[in-house]
Amino acid sequence: MTILLYCINQQGEEIMPCTTILVGKKATYDGSTFMARNEDSGSGSFIEKKFIVVNPQDQPRTYQSVISKVTIELPDDPMRYTAMPNALPNEGIWGEAGINAVNVAMTETETITTNPRVMGADPLVPEGIGEEDFLTIVLPYIHSAREGVLRLGSLLEKFGTYEMNGIGFQDVDEIWWMETIGGHHWIAKRVPDDHYVVMPNQQGIDDFDLEDAFGDKKNHLCSEDLISFIRDNHLDLSMTEGSHLDVRAAFGSRDDSDHTYNTPRAWIMLRYLNPSMPWDSSDPAYGPESDSLPWSLVPERRITVEDVKYVLSSHFQGTEFDPYGKKFARPGERGIYRPIGINRNNFIHLTQLRPYVPAEIMGIEWISMGSNTFNAFAPFYNNITKTPAYLANTGAEVSTDNFYWSNRLIGALADAHYAMCTSHIERYQNAVAYAGQKFLKETDQAYITEKPEDVHSFLEEANQRMADDLQKKTGDVLSKVLYEASMQMKNGFARSDA
């Protein structure tokens, strides 16, 4: 049953599986909070995406979902916010990730799993709200990460949801991770400042302090009736009594499919960020199919933007499970687990909220599109009223005039000729990363020095320069992988071949 829960929602729609990493401010290289997620299309599909700004005059006051048809009256005072919606509107908005005008960020959703006991106790609601809707009805109205949890929680309790999801909320001080439970219930946990969290498509939170959730609410929040919901439906499977709930046992799944689709993704991220743990010993504490992988850990060193890009592009490099690998290959093991960097990645979106610069330039959105193994990560300021056309003009027609389609082409060509193209891809990724860090350093300094009156125009012009450079570098690597693919065509023939 749970296999269907993370692939199909109550409307029979295929859900987009994703991977998430959250990093507290004492675990990042610069004291920022990090929140990043891949959005992936469902199996056998590819969803065109774009990067936009929704200005207050464009935000609906009466919202209607395309999937569930639910209608919601929204407040009349929305803030400006960025979003990563579907380029084609036929299935709704699917805003997915962004930052609002007061530097509060949201990412939604990580489709997660549950079990039949939860589904029987609080069934999903076909006419409720879900991933299509969450960003649009929450992000423009919240002033802190905690407030985001509480607003979405109240909407879930009122309207219900047709799918199980994990949602992230972030401000410059805190990150909160929220998980829906059945049709109307929810829990949320604050990410410890010196920890990072990894999330594949399953119930992630491991330990939940009910005493705190119903007391000080310092690090835990939940539905008001969660204790009675657990008690009345016999969901607590702990062998001993106490205030700490084993969330995965109570609300999560433990299916065979988790061990090929979900747990290996958490394992490879933890392995990269805590490499000194005995991952490869004769009796390792955790393996790729472990059900007890920790929700959060203190990293062995501070985490960078480059680390986030690397783990969210992982295809099990350095292990026997790498679908492209030769060095560690073993018969029957190559490609047996679902990689994070997959053919149907739509984008990576990282929100970085920086405490050491003025609030006007605090928020940065690092964006890549297409298959993460072959794409590059570029930064853009969020305090703007429009985004560069190269990232905003995605349509149904394949075109090298936009970032999404260019990267889809690069990935399809480079994958088929991995050995020939990998050096071109690595140089492209490094060149964009170098340019991105230089761009931020120079733009930050120029803003502080010049103190422009029109902040939006200043940052829009800066973003355009970044986009122009990104387009040039992306076009260059496309031409290189096209050449390599063309040279490997089966109908190639020279006079010397005769």
Catalytic residues: 18
For residues 20 and 97, is the Cβ–Cβ distance under 8 A?
A: no
Distance CA 313, CA 372 (A): 5
Is the sign of the CA dihedral 456, 459, 465, 471 positive or negative? Answer: negative
Distance CA 417, CA 484 (A): 7
Distance CA 131, CA 162 (A): 9
Instruction: Please report which helix (H) or strand (E) contains residue 176, including its range.
Output: strand 175-181
**Residue from 49, 43, 53, 34 nearest 105 by CA:** 34
Distance CA 258, CA 3 (A): 8
For residues 462 and 439, is the Cβ–Cβ distance under 8 A?
A: yes
Q: Where are the beta strands (DSSP E) in 269-413?
A: 296-297, 345-353, 363-369, 378-381
What are the Cα distances from residue 80, in Å, to 98, 340, 346, 360, 445?
A: 10, 31, 24, 13, 25
**Residue from 139, 159, 176 nearest 68 by CA:** 159
**In DSSP terms, which residues pair with 28 in a beta bridge?**
303
**Residue from 324, 363, 323, 365 nearest 348 by CA:** 365
**Residue from 29, 191, 167, 21 nearest 97 by CA:** 167
Distance CA 382, CA 83 (A): 10
Distance CA 416, CA 488 (A): 10
| Tokens coding 232 | 């009345």
Residue with tokens 């409720």: 128
Distance CA 445, CA 442 (A): 5
Classify residue 486 as left (phi > 0), alpha (psi -120 to 50) or beta.
alpha
Residues contacting residue 446 through CB under 8 Å, at least 6 positions apart:
462
What DSSP line would sit under 303-324, residue for residue?
A: B-HHHHHHHTT-S-TTSTT-TT
